Structure formats: C-alpha cells, structure tokens
Amino acid sequence: MKDYKFCLDFKVRDYECDMEGIVNNATYMNYLEHARHEFLHTIYRHRFRRDDRARHNHGCDPCGA
C-alpha cells in the first residue's frame, strides 16, 4: 500500500447500505466531506485555532459546491 499523507478510517453504518449491503453512492459525498474536514482540522488546528481571518490570510477558505 502506498504511503498517504492522510488516512481516516470509517465505520459503515447499516442505514447507509441497501438491502444487498452495498453502500449507497450518495453516502460517499458525506464520507469525502468528513475526511476533508478532518484533514484540514489536523493540519490547521495548532496553527490557527478558530481564527477564520488567519485561515483566510493563509489561503484556506471554506467552500461549498
């Protein structure tokens, strides 16, 4: 396995699966958003605390798409 800069384990919950036990494809967006949030929190938690202006000045702005 390749070394990644960030890795996050998830537990798949039963309500995220269909009757065959396959994860619903829309659920992956929730997984990606959660992983992005945890990644940014890991990188910036010590540097910025909760100062949004400092994040902005560093080039890290929240964006919804």
Q: What is the DSSP letter of 5?
A: S
pTM here is: 0.60
How does DSSP assign 12-64, residue by residue?
--GGGB-TTSPBPTTHHHHHHHHHHHHHHHHHHHHHHTT-HHHHHHHT-----
Residue 61 falls in the annotated catalytic set: no
Residue type, 51: D
Q: Which residue in 3, 9, 18, 61 is the catalytic one?
A: 18
Interval 34-48: pLDDT, tens: 998 888 888 777 555
Interval 16-27: pLDDT, tens: 999 999 999 889
Sequence ranges of the domains in the chain? 1-65
Distance between alpha carbon 24 and the CA centroid of its chain, in Å? 18
